[in-house]
Chain A
């Protein structure tokens, strides 16, 4: 016997008693015409990560040249004196920049991996980070010693702005070269890798032209550093995230659909090229803003979405959990960067690279095993 069949387009009466088709850890929440699917595990993971990033920030407030106890931190926030300056002007903005930049990079990574349908993809292949690096290195090498040095106007406003422009120009280059009657995920990856290789070599060539001091300063920037980041880095990053995160979240459903073949997606009523273009634009802007604030911090965009994927057991990197994972990773990496070789501070990008390289190898080995089986 076959069950009775629905008429096409028929509204099902509320008395219909079809067995639930979602797994028990996903609960529908329905109020009038509004309906959401609450996924319990990602929600729980998100709360834990939020707690973790808060804890890491609190730790960061305490640790440093002037160690502070928790009550001292609270007194420093309200009072004034040297502790106030240390907490409110040095440690807090730096920690916030780190968390925000980490979240932005991870979100950009989650989007890129979904579009490219490849867990090894990261916004680096969109041309953003290398484009920014070329622009910044060129500026430091050409004008570094004449424009006020590392703490001058160039460092505060000029470098982030240059990085932003360079990053967007790099992304535009990749986009234009990859576009051929539409945007194909694989073609994007291949063109991206090619453009990245060219930019990387231009960057190294520029480094050889500069004087030793300028080049070493440029090296710190291109490894990604949170050193000396203040409120002037927090505000633009926070503002960009406030606009881009809701945009990315609105696109979540299209992003889920885009992981299927193009014909399937189009058949489901998604404007495939438009949706993909908008999501790539969001990823490019997120990565560009993050890079402008802290330089190209490596591996966060690559690893955070994949860690989030495994934490939640989801079928695709969940955007919010990925962003929170990125914030935790970057905050933890910067804490290590500040403390491991104290008083010498490492650029945070060095720590993420040291932690991220083995992870990348693990992913490659796993991908090879899967390809064989």
Chain B
């Protein structure tokens, strides 16, 4: 188990969102957390990335309590891309991606050749090499999201947590970002945990789906086992048919609604 939540209780202030949750993330897998708005999936991801300290239970990284490890050491192994991240005004793409090298730098080691090649490779992998000098504010939504993923790549961690990396993107860009995530996994063997809203894309790009509702895990496993008609009813209160995706062979959710029933 690379990353593990053991009996965690999570919340903000007095409001408890997740209570008594257990979840393990195996090395070399792509795990996608799905669930209705407010079910606690982003909260769980933040806790796994030690952005939120559990008020009960513990989060283990490689078997050690993540909150007891030096945060800079964690940052060398685990990268987090928060939901809708914000960057300072006027920042260039290259500056943003270079920021990913922060955990590897000290005051006397500010720009090593490792930093330089890691940033160059991260830019190349996300297809942004020609845009390095462009301010982030001038990019399209898809390019901007790729720049942020590029920053997480430059960090050089083999664990990546992505909170809704496809929000605000059109379908073509969503696919582009998820193809990139798949390549990270396929070519680099990285372990990815992400939160996604689109169930069909989640089914297609994940090895493992975790379905949550009201702060609890309802089902976890391969997409074909998790994404069933009864689960959709239980988790999303959604009346839907599940057919086979004609391209990938994964489950495809077709909502029924009232107009055609």
Name A residues whose Cβ lies closer than 8 Å to a Cβ of B.
Answer: 2-3, 5-12, 14, 16, 18-23, 28, 30, 33-37, 117, 181, 250, 252-253, 256-257, 259-261, 263-264, 266-271, 315-316
B71 x A16 contact (CB < 8 A): no
Q: 7 smallest A-B Cβ distances: which pairs? A: A269-B75, A18-B120, A267-B80, A263-B82, A269-B72, A8-B158, A269-B103
B188 x A8 contact (CB < 8 A): yes
Jot down 8 A-B pairs with beta carbons below 8 A, ordered by A.
Answer: A6-B118, A8-B156, A22-B98, A35-B108, A35-B115, A253-B110, A267-B51, A268-B99
In the complex, whether B133 has a CB less than 8 A from a CB of chain A is: yes
Beyond A7-B188, A267-B82, 5 additional contacts (C-beta under 8 Å) are A12-B118, A22-B111, A253-B110, A263-B51, A268-B155
A5 x B103 contact (CB < 8 A): no
- B119 CB to closest chain A CB (Å) equals 5
B121 x A6 contact (CB < 8 A): yes
- B15 CB to closest chain A CB (Å) equals 13
In the complex, whether B95 has a CB less than 8 A from a CB of chain A is: yes
Residue in chain B with minimal CB distance to A35: B112
- Chain A residues within 8 Å of B76, by CB: 9, 269
In the complex, whether B49 has a CB less than 8 A from a CB of chain A is: yes
Cα–Cα distance between A364 and B111 once the two chains are bound (Å): 36
In the complex, whether B215 has a CB less than 8 A from a CB of chain A is: no
In the complex, whether B65 has a CB less than 8 A from a CB of chain A is: no
Residue in chain A with minimal CB distance to B106: A253
Residue in chain B with minimal CB distance to A6: B121
B161-208 residues at the A interface, CB under 8 angstroms: 183, 187-190
Residue in chain A with minimal CB distance to B90: A315
- Chain A residues within 8 Å of B13, by CB: 181
- Chain A residues within 8 Å of B157, by CB: 8-9
Binds A, one of B3-11, B122-130, B240-248, B251-259: B122-130
Interface code B76-92, partner A: CB below 8 Å = 1, 0 otherwise? 10011110011110111
- Chain B residues within 8 Å of A34, by CB: 108-109
Determine the main DSSP class of A at the interface with B: loop
Residue in chain B with minimal CB distance to A313: B90
In the complex, whether B2 has a CB less than 8 A from a CB of chain A is: no
In the complex, whether B50 has a CB less than 8 A from a CB of chain A is: yes
- Chain A residues within 8 Å of B132, by CB: 21
Contact of B109 among A11, A19, A23, A35 (CB under 8 A): A35
B85 x A261 contact (CB < 8 A): yes
A9-B156, A261-B86 known; A18-B117 Cβ under 8 A = yes
A9 x B158 contact (CB < 8 A): yes
Residue in chain B with minimal CB distance to A267: B80
Contact of A269 among B74, B95, B108 (CB under 8 A): B74
A117-B88, A269-B75 known; A30-B80 Cβ under 8 A = no
A-B contact count (CB 8 A): 145
In the complex, whether B59 has a CB less than 8 A from a CB of chain A is: no
- B234 CB to closest chain A CB (Å) equals 31
- Chain A residues within 8 Å of B98, by CB: 21-22
Q: Contact size class for B?
A: 35 or more
Contact of B94 among A21, A181, A316 (CB under 8 A): A21
A260 x B86 contact (CB < 8 A): yes
B187 x A315 contact (CB < 8 A): no
B87 x A260 contact (CB < 8 A): yes
Residue in chain B with minimal CB distance to A20: B116
B113 x A12 contact (CB < 8 A): yes
A263 x B103 contact (CB < 8 A): no
In the complex, whether B37 has a CB less than 8 A from a CB of chain A is: no
Cα–Cα distance between A270 and B120 once the two chains are bound (Å): 23
- Chain A residues within 8 Å of B146, by CB: none
A6-B156, A23-B133 known; A11-B71 Cβ under 8 A = no
Contact of A23 among B86, B94, B119, B125 (CB under 8 A): B94
B100 x A8 contact (CB < 8 A): no
In the complex, whether B237 has a CB less than 8 A from a CB of chain A is: no
Contact of B117 among A16, A117, A271, A315 (CB under 8 A): A16
Residue in chain B with minimal CB distance to A271: B71
- Chain B residues within 8 Å of A12, by CB: 113-114, 117-118
A259 x B82 contact (CB < 8 A): no
- Chain B residues within 8 Å of A21, by CB: 94, 97-98, 116, 119-120, 123, 132
Cα–Cα distance between A335 and B212 once the two chains are bound (Å): 68
In the complex, whether B46 has a CB less than 8 A from a CB of chain A is: yes
- Chain B residues within 8 Å of A316, by CB: 88
- A131 CB to closest chain B CB (Å) equals 29
Interface code B40-84, partner A: CB below 8 Å = 1, 0 otherwise? 000000100111000000000000000000011111100111100
A266-B50, A267-B82 known; A37-B110 Cβ under 8 A = yes
Cα–Cα distance between A259 and B91 once the two chains are bound (Å): 11
B94 x A250 contact (CB < 8 A): no
- Chain A residues within 8 Å of B189, by CB: 8
A264 x B85 contact (CB < 8 A): yes
Contact of B110 among A11, A19, A36 (CB under 8 A): A36
B158 x A35 contact (CB < 8 A): no
- Chain B residues within 8 Å of A271, by CB: 71
- Chain B residues within 8 Å of A117, by CB: 88
